[in-house]
Chain A
Amino acid sequence: MTELLIVNYDAGNIRSVERAVSVCGATPVLSSDPEAILNARLLILPGVGAFGKCISSLRGKKLDLPVLEYIKSGKPILGICVGMQMLMEGSCEFGYHKGLGLIPGEVRKIPDKGGDGYPHRVPHVTWEGLEPKKQAWEGTVLDGIVPGADCYFIHSYAAYPEREQDVLATCSYNGVELCAAVRKENLYGLQFHPEKSGPIGLKVISNFISLGDRSC
């Protein structure tokens, strides 16, 4: 069975990610060993909580460089929630924090007004439909997902990629377009939680696992 490495850097609840991966037919391996990260075939970078805390924990455990090395090799990586946000250049959550800088753009607070100009609720906690942007979903982690399919979002900050071509999917929160997924070559990031998004989320994870077969 394909092994999938989940980067373990004390980023909160990763048990459900582990469980979802095994249901999707891969063997999840939790690891904070730089060597294991470099040698992995598939990598998930999870993240729950505040950006600054996550990135400093990743750096504190000296796992940022192995992750960057892994990405350079062209093998697939999937960032989830703050794990996705960390792929960006930086975040404004509780002061400015530098990210891994792999996708141009920053992480900023979700606008506190909807498209109609009226205040709306933040955190953005709900199931929201995914919509395509410039990139086709075929052959990506969203292969076979029907536009409008609902996934579970829970976040106060969102990624704002500079280049539209890096955006794989968006969702509309009260008329405000938010980045739901990014993709740049072997690099994938999801703002929603696939491990909490029912059968659709599991399909996304299965798609990611099958990318591992292709990259070898």
Chain B
Amino acid sequence: MLKTRVIPCLDVKDGRVVKGVNFVDLVDAGDPVEQARIYDAEGADELCFLDITASSDNRDTIFDVVARTAEACFMPVTVGGGVRTLEDIRKLLLAGADKVSINTAAVKNPDFVREAARKFGSQCIVVSIDAKSTGPDKFEIFTHGGREPTGIDAVSFAKQMVEYGAGELLVTSMDRDGTQSGFNIPLTRTIADAVHVPVIASGGVGTLDHMVEGVRDAHASAVLAASIFHFGTYRIREVKEHMKAAGIPVRED
């Protein structure tokens, strides 16, 4: 069985991490670079950056933050949030991102994913799918932080994105995000079983068992969480030890 990646996610606004952090050994709790350094030292397998900068005026700060973070850690870095053009991708990759995650732009213009994969290679194009259960075995894509329904079926969209060259899918359950009640297992599993690229489960992690469920029950190749790491509820190492005890292979130092 493949080693499952454990991915902490940083929500970054105007160049600063917005969720609170309780790491005692941080010099500057709001600096994403400081946090990335700690996650790196703790054995995180990848880092995900979500730029939630509200105003487009501050967009350029992300390139600087990505550059400084990529310099601070020796693990792969994925950057998402506001990726809309090939030029955005080029700038992020040059700043040191290994992969970019495309969300709204993929929903609005699926061909953008095809162009991006052709230009930069599938391995660095992650499509981020925000979806909710809207009925039994029905999953719909939502945009604008889960507020706007699109009428698009999440599973068909996932298949289309893979066909267009996405190398990985980041599946976030909008009905679970922030609830700490666990991943939306049917959503993640249905998508993971429908495609042949790695799927990252996201949204809803509150306990160590949720991480195990993401792999064992939802068939994800990687598990992503923000709050439990930000607030220091669990450390990366604890997650890995728990998964290992549950029979899920992880990378060990």
Expressed in whole angstroms, the Cα–Cα distance for A152 and B134 within the complex equals 37
In the complex formed, the residue of B with least CB distance to A125 is B198
Expressed in whole angstroms, the Cα–Cα distance for A80 and B75 within the complex equals 15
Q: Does A174 contact B (CB under 8 A)?
A: yes
Q: Does B167 contact A (CB under 8 A)?
A: yes
Expressed in whole angstroms, the Cα–Cα distance for A173 and B2 within the complex equals 7
Whether the pair A123, B70 counts as a contact (CB closer than 8 A) is: no
In the complex formed, the residue of A with least CB distance to B93 is A13
Partner of A121, one of B74, B120, B196, B251: B196
Give the dominant DSSP class at A's interface. Answer: mixed
Q: Does A20 contact B (CB under 8 A)?
A: yes
B170 → A minimal CB distance (Å): 12
Whether the pair A202, B74 counts as a contact (CB closer than 8 A) is: yes
Whether the pair A196, B75 counts as a contact (CB closer than 8 A) is: yes
Whether the pair A154, B123 counts as a contact (CB closer than 8 A) is: yes
| Chain B residues with CB under 8 A of A133 | none
Q: Does B108 contact A (CB under 8 A)?
A: no
Whether the pair B70, A19 counts as a contact (CB closer than 8 A) is: yes
8 Å CB contacts to B: which residues of A1-49?
12-13, 15-16, 19-20, 48-49
Q: Does A108 contact B (CB under 8 A)?
A: no
Expressed in whole angstroms, the Cα–Cα distance for A151 and B94 within the complex equals 23
Q: Does A122 contact B (CB under 8 A)?
A: yes
Whether the pair B97, A13 counts as a contact (CB closer than 8 A) is: yes
Whether the pair A123, B122 counts as a contact (CB closer than 8 A) is: yes
What band does the interface of chain A fall in when counting residues whose beta carbon is under 8 Å from B? 20 to 34
Whether the pair A154, B76 counts as a contact (CB closer than 8 A) is: yes
B164 → A minimal CB distance (Å): 15
B124 → A minimal CB distance (Å): 7
B240 → A minimal CB distance (Å): 11
Whether the pair A16, B123 counts as a contact (CB closer than 8 A) is: no
Whether the pair B221, A15 counts as a contact (CB closer than 8 A) is: no
| Chain A residues with CB under 8 A of B5 | 125-127
| Chain A residues with CB under 8 A of B168 | 123, 125
Q: Does B98 contact A (CB under 8 A)?
A: yes
Whether the pair A121, B198 counts as a contact (CB closer than 8 A) is: yes
Q: Does B96 contact A (CB under 8 A)?
A: yes
Q: Does B177 contact A (CB under 8 A)?
A: no
Q: Does B197 contact A (CB under 8 A)?
A: yes
27 A-B Cβ contacts within 8 A? A12-B93, A13-B96, A15-B95, A19-B71, A20-B74, A49-B120, A49-B124, A50-B121, A120-B196, A121-B196, A121-B198, A122-B196, A123-B167, A123-B168, A123-B197, A125-B123, A125-B167, A126-B3, A126-B5, A128-B3, A150-B251, A150-B252, A174-B2, A196-B75, A198-B43, A199-B74, A199-B253
A residues contacting B by CB (< 8 A) are 12-13, 15-16, 19-20, 48-50, 112, 119-123, 125-128, 150, 152, 154-156, 173-174, 193, 195-199, 201-202
